[in-house]
Amino acid sequence: MEKSPVEILFGKRNFFEFLESLDQVAPERGIKTIREVIIKDSLGNEEKQRIRQYIPNSIKFTTVSTRELDRIASDKNHQGYVIIRTKQKSFLSLGFEQFKQNVKVGEGPILILDRIQDPGNLGNILRTAECMGVKHVLMSDRDTSPITPVVEKVSAGAVHHLQIYRVANLMHGMEYLKKNEYWILATDEEGEENIWETLPEATQMAVIMGNEGEGVKRLLLEEADYVARIPLFGSVTSLNVVVACGITLDRIQNVSR
């Protein structure tokens, strides 16, 4: 029988965030995917015991040399921590129906991502979003980076604590949110600068961030309730989408304080 394809989860923070999330996700997306846990043999007994508390004895737990771990992880920056797991075609299998079932009134801020294509940007956005209290992320299913092991690593494991939905039409998601008492905020260089202090509570907000080069699609901008401009004071006239996302989420959270 042909073995299922596997993928490598690597990096210390990502490693532990995944293990700590196992009791929060369905077994078929968590504990049942683990084929083997591998760490470098120089780690102490206390660290090994810490790892053991997350996984049952039935899961293979191996210690190897750093050189061997480099080989297993294809020379990625594993930091001595690797999990081999069954490749999940359905990491982003949550769709529009699950979105409507899971997202309740007052669970904002919700993050909407329009065509984020760079894995590094996506990983950093997800890390920022989780740190800023986001629980639900709605993504377009076309022209968007998949959640790869690299995205997981860059996100510092934040992907394991987020509900991520991939949909064909972001407009349908925005319409659903509006019907459920959410306000939509987009950022654009032509937006208003002076609306930050007059926004609704963060729990009532959904924030849409756009493609690295083109920004938010015009059609989606027109559907937003607020279009804001982040004031800039230097010579450069635009921000990286990761930075813009962090500033935006911080500002709407500060409105609620």
- Helix, coil or strand: residue 240: coil
Cβ-in-10-Å burial (0-12, 13-18, 19+) of 222 comes to exposed
Q: Crossing angle, helix 241-255 and helix 119-131, to 10 degrees?
A: 10
Please state whether beta strands 226-228 and 183-192 pair in parallel, antiparallel, or not at all (unpaired). parallel
Strand partners, 39: 63, 81
How many other β-carbons are positioned within 10 Å of the β-carbon of residue 215?
21
Strand partners, 244: none
Averaged pLDDT score across all residues of the chain: 88
Average pLDDT over residues 93-112: 91
Q: Per-residue pLDDT for 1 more than 50?
A: no
pLDDT tens digits for range 35-88: 999 999 999 999 999 999 999 989 999 999 999 999 998 878 899 999 998 876
Band (pLDDT 50/70/90 cuts) for residue 3 is: low
Query: Residue 42 and residue 8: Cα distance in Å, rounded?
Result: 20
- Helix, coil or strand: residue 194: coil
pLDDT tens digits for range 173-186: 999 999 999 999 99
Count helices and strands in the chain by DSSP H and E runs: 9, 10
Q: What are the structural domains of the chain? A: 6-86 (3.30.1330.30), 96-254 (3.40.1280.10)
